[in-house]
Structure 1
Amino acid sequence: MTSVLTRRGRATSGDGFDRSLLTPMLLGTILNPINSSIIAVSLVPIGVAFGAPAAETAWLVSALYLATAIGQPVVGRLIDLFGPRRLFLAGATLTGIAGVLGAFAPALWVLVVARIVLGFGTCAGYPAAMYLIRGEADRTGKDSPAGVLTALAVAAQTIVVIGPPLGGLLIHLGGWRATFAINIPLAVACLVAGLLWLPKTTMPQREKTSGLDIPGIALFTALLLTALLFLMNPQAAHWYLPVLAIASAVALVLRELHTPAPFLDVRVLGGNFPLLATYGRVMLTSTVGYCFLYGFTQWLESGRGLNPGAAGLILLPLSLTGIAVSAITGRRAAIRGKLIVGATAQIVGCTVLLLMPGHAPIWLLLTAACVMGIPQGLNSLANQNAVYYQSTPDRIGSSAGLLRTFNYIGAMIAAAAGGAFLTTGDNPAGLHHLAIFMIAAATLFLALTLADRSLRLVGRPARRT
């Protein structure tokens, strides 16, 4: 770690970990997933309010994902260089501003702007948390408690599926604008927690000026922006977008190979196959998970005829199962075993969707949610822990940010798949076609996991004394 976290009069537990950090870590971590999921039940009422078709309201999803996919590794790198406090507080402030914008938006385009601001505002929480966990391990000379990483996984991933029922409740109580306004108290809570408990960071001035690779960040942004714009609407007429993405990627690699302080250390990253494989698994499992979250929710409303509140409640077992699975398995180091079971459960859950009838009974809908909760709890926890152990210590913030980037690349693929397959109204054929796509992605995820022998050692390093 290149910075020094000051500790003055802080109470620590028996394992030495500073427990006062948990509150800002968990609050910051939930900001992004709650906003990525709560919109799932808000799209239809927002479209009705502004007379906007689904193609336009889809930008509310895409805008946050674009901003987050670009912003997470950038903010993560800034945290590596400058420490978490300033970035955390700045992000919380942007989140509050976005909440105000959304609560009083007079037009759909203002909501899109609010979602972009939300995307950048919620970028700091997760990289900051991973940075702090690594910093505590360095400070105490011991690996941070497994329960802390488990808490992050539970907070970040299971909150995704708490979002829809919470969104349904907020819409019932205060309309769709309440799903934006909820960010105001969340931002205030983050600001208070950050000011009270996040340590101040000191750093040599030379590193501040030389460690930030602005051209590399610009090329990385161009690469992701063009690639994700194509994923949002893949058409032959948009052939120039993947061309620009490839050109940006080549320029980025050449730039990073010839700069002393690269934004993306491609030499280290290229030689770290286990970390690259983890990013690939994150993308695949996120594709399946978000296909279920958005596609199944959309079908529940437009195909099965449920209202937003009922659709949100159907997904509640997804969250409860994910929390239970993470809590039970969180302290176990067998990352590979978790991923194998998680991939298998995804295949089983997708098969349930493939066999889903048009007027499926409630018990079958709840069964599908329960089954998909198993990989929700296993895969996110295992992949997060893998990144923690596989990344280099001085780039833990940017590595954690890249994990979220690949997570949202998977979400963008899922959004494109949902738009392509769910076009048949109340006919279950669209859901079945989406399920086939999900099975293919889950099978590839399982194959990649079985082929990666390095996973047998991840999470079991020699303990520091």
Structure 2
Amino acid sequence: MSAPRISGRGAAAAPSVDQPAGTSAKTSANTSAGQGGAAEGRGNFGPRLIVPLMLGSVLNPINSTMIATVLVAIGGSFHVGAADTAWLVSSLYVASAVAQPAMGRLADRLGPRRVFLAGLLVVAAAGAVGLFGPSLGWLIASRVLLGIGTSAAYPAAMALLRAHSQALGVPTPRPVLGLLSLAGLSSAAVGPVLGGVLASTLSWRAVFAVNLPLALVGFLLALLWLPEIRTKPAEQGSEAQGAAGRAGSGMDPVGVLLFAAVLICLMLFLMRLDAPNWPVLGGAAVLAALMAVWELRQKAPFVDLRMLAANRPLTLTYLRHGMTYLVIYCMMYGYAQWLEDAHGYSSATAGLLMLPMSVAAMVTSMLGTRTKGIRAPLTVAAVLMLAGCGTLLVAGHTAPGLALGAAGALFGLPQGLASTANQAAVYGQAPAGQIGSAAGLQRTAQYIGAITAASLIGLFYGNRATDSGLHDMALTSAALGVAVLLLTVLDRSLRTAKE
């Protein structure tokens, strides 16, 4: 096992990240010091630590949504249709779903700062490939690189925050974790607007090229401000320490490939739910079984199935997070499409009507950081999702614009609450020394929800979004909302969770 030490400006000598928060000598001192110690801890989570982490965390969501406004232009440039340009969207999701836990694993093993910096360099390279790529294939390759590079930021940030927290002997303040959620939510909201501005003032290639300055600025700030985490061989300790050490060694490339193959097969099946390709689904099942057999035989598996089976609270958090975002993505993409098709609104007007959803999500993400518990905000989020689904069940193409904007806000409110609360749950439930890979798997659950949502939208709408299609989507989303609510109120581990 390797135990990180933090060095650099303002950093204290760190206990092992495998040591639970609250068990260090400094923590004991802070306990006796009372509120003074907590205030000291909060003071060490300042802008120099948070700004680079936030900048890195915006890159994946902004690239996920920025591409939406230039798909038609790209198709025209290369004389291809929507079915071909759709790979520019799905390739990033699949690459991100695989790369998030992989990058988290590397952050746990090599140190989060190194992985964070390396990811930003990959993002810069991806921007260059997209800027000069001569064909659609090159652009897809750029999007795959973007998925890999941007996936380093979030799990590395979570791992760095936990290591920094344990170095100080105080918990990471919830508002600090909330800032990472806020960065993702706000950047996803401005992505389509930014993409449209870049495409109209420069060209669609600017949507790829903008990653160059963003990544290089982030790299410079991270290089100057993020604390260094070095690894050293740990002394032989308890059996638990030995297990954590095994989990942090090796990358299990076969496990990574099998995991990627399962996701690709699932995506291919989900993309045509109107005409299901059952052999592809069968292939996914076979590959999943092979992956399970392989991972259970590994000392350092890519996906630690034994840990997930033993850590029921964390597994439930992944399930709850993925189902929540399935509903959110159905709303985010399906509702906007309905506004254009059924109401006849322009893309710009539909974007304005979706703006209350983004604003509500950003507001509640920050409000969620002010709560000490996890169960209460998740319960409220599930109830608000159900309220939003009920609104869509009675919505029609004659509804006034004010009501349509309010309906969108009803889905933004639970998005912000669920994002910050599930993030805090993963931070507290992840095994010692595996926070990076655990955070990556949380994002994987989110991306699987996004892929499934896109498939459901295609199934319900067909060639055109209609009122009946919206109502079918709302009814399905309501059933998922009930499931999320039950997963929340029946999860006893959330009743006492504070971090």
The 8 Å contact of residues 165 and 315 in structure 1, kept in 2 or not, is answered as no
* Residue matched to 2:2: 2
The 8 Å contact of residues 158 and 377 in structure 1, kept in 2 or not, is answered as no
State the Cα distance separating 1:205 from its structure 2 match: 7.5
The 8 Å contact of residues 275 and 391 in structure 1, kept in 2 or not, is answered as yes
* Residue matched to 2:29: none
The verdict on how the C-alpha distance between 1:86 and 1:11 changes in structure 2, with shifts beyond 3 A counting, is closer
The verdict on how the C-alpha distance between 1:172 and 1:387 changes in structure 2, with shifts beyond 3 A counting, is same
State the Cα distance separating 1:401 from its structure 2 match: 0.2
The verdict on how the C-alpha distance between 1:306 and 1:3 changes in structure 2, with shifts beyond 3 A counting, is farther
* Residue matched to 1:258: 297
User: What is the DSSP-based 3-state SS (H/G/I as helix, E as strand, rest coil) of the residue aligned with 2:115?
Assistant: helix
Write the distance in 2 (CA, Å) between the matches of 1:236 and 1:444.
27
* Residue matched to 1:334: 373
The verdict on how the C-alpha distance between 1:114 and 1:308 changes in structure 2, with shifts beyond 3 A counting, is farther
Whether 1:64 aligns to 2:71 is no
- Name whichever of 252-261 and 439-448 sits farther off: 252-261
1:252-287 deviation per Cα after TM superposition (whole angstroms, max 9, x unaligned):
333333332232322222111111111111111110
Q: How many pairs align?
A: 460
* Residue matched to 1:77: 105
* Residue matched to 2:238: none
Whether 1:37 aligns to 2:65 is yes
Give the residue type in structure 2 aligned to 1:17: N
The verdict on how the C-alpha distance between 1:304 and 1:167 changes in structure 2, with shifts beyond 3 A counting, is farther
Choose which of 7, 12, 17 in structure 1 pairs with 2:44: 17
The 8 Å contact of residues 70 and 225 in structure 1, kept in 2 or not, is answered as no
Whether 1:190 aligns to 2:236 is no
The 8 Å contact of residues 41 and 297 in structure 1, kept in 2 or not, is answered as no
Superposition CA RMSD, Å: 2.5
* Residue matched to 1:383: 422
The higher radius of gyration belongs to 2
Write the distance in 2 (CA, Å) between the matches of 1:180 and 1:163.
12
* Residue matched to 1:463: none
User: What is the DSSP-based 3-state SS (H/G/I as helix, E as strand, rest coil) of the residue aligned with 2:2?
Assistant: coil
Give the residue type in structure 1 aligned to 2:179: A
User: What is the DSSP-based 3-state SS (H/G/I as helix, E as strand, rest coil) of the residue aligned with 1:85?
Assistant: helix
The verdict on how the C-alpha distance between 1:357 and 1:444 changes in structure 2, with shifts beyond 3 A counting, is same
The 8 Å contact of residues 40 and 294 in structure 1, kept in 2 or not, is answered as no
1:66-122 deviation per Cα after TM superposition (whole angstroms, max 9, x unaligned):
000011101110111001222222211221222233344444333322211111111
State the Cα distance separating 1:424 from its structure 2 match: 4.6
Whether 1:361 aligns to 2:387 is no
The 8 Å contact of residues 4 and 232 in structure 2, kept in 1 or not, is answered as no
Give the residue type in structure 1 aligned to 2:335: F
Give the residue type in structure 1 aligned to 2:7: R
The 8 Å contact of residues 17 and 145 in structure 1, kept in 2 or not, is answered as no
* Residue matched to 2:149: 121
The verdict on how the C-alpha distance between 1:275 and 1:10 changes in structure 2, with shifts beyond 3 A counting, is same
1:360-398 deviation per Cα after TM superposition (whole angstroms, max 9, x unaligned):
432122112221110111011111111111111211000
The 8 Å contact of residues 41 and 308 in structure 1, kept in 2 or not, is answered as no
Choose which of 479, 491, 495 in structure 2 pairs with 1:440: 479
The 8 Å contact of residues 269 and 276 in structure 2, kept in 1 or not, is answered as no
Write the distance in 1 (CA, Å) between the matches of 2:354 and 2:228.
40
**Which aligned pairs between 1:346-425 and structure 2 lie closer than 5 A?**
346-425=385-464
- Name whichever of 308-317 and 58-67 sits farther off: 308-317
The verdict on how the C-alpha distance between 1:164 and 1:360 changes in structure 2, with shifts beyond 3 A counting, is farther
Write the distance in 2 (CA, Å) between the matches of 1:189 and 1:238.
45
Identity %: 43
State the Cα distance separating 1:236 from its structure 2 match: 6.6
* Residue matched to 1:293: 332
The verdict on how the C-alpha distance between 1:40 and 1:293 changes in structure 2, with shifts beyond 3 A counting, is farther
* Residue matched to 1:246: 285
The 8 Å contact of residues 75 and 87 in structure 1, kept in 2 or not, is answered as yes
The 8 Å contact of residues 100 and 441 in structure 2, kept in 1 or not, is answered as yes
The 8 Å contact of residues 159 and 435 in structure 2, kept in 1 or not, is answered as yes
The verdict on how the C-alpha distance between 1:454 and 1:219 changes in structure 2, with shifts beyond 3 A counting, is same
User: What is the DSSP-based 3-state SS (H/G/I as helix, E as strand, rest coil) of the residue aligned with 1:61?
Assistant: helix
- Name whichever of 444-453 and 388-397 sits farther off: 444-453
User: What is the DSSP-based 3-state SS (H/G/I as helix, E as strand, rest coil) of the residue aligned with 1:4?
Assistant: strand
The verdict on how the C-alpha distance between 1:168 and 1:125 changes in structure 2, with shifts beyond 3 A counting, is same
- Name whichever of 7-16 and 138-147 sits farther off: 7-16
* Residue matched to 1:87: 115
* Residue matched to 2:170: 142
- Name whichever of 447-456 and 370-379 sits farther off: 447-456
Give the residue type in structure 2 aligned to 1:327: M
Give the residue type in structure 2 aligned to 1:435: A
Give the residue type in structure 2 aligned to 1:265: D
User: What is the DSSP-based 3-state SS (H/G/I as helix, E as strand, rest coil) of the residue aligned with 1:201?
Assistant: strand
State the Cα distance separating 1:235 from its structure 2 match: 6.9
The 8 Å contact of residues 382 and 485 in structure 2, kept in 1 or not, is answered as yes
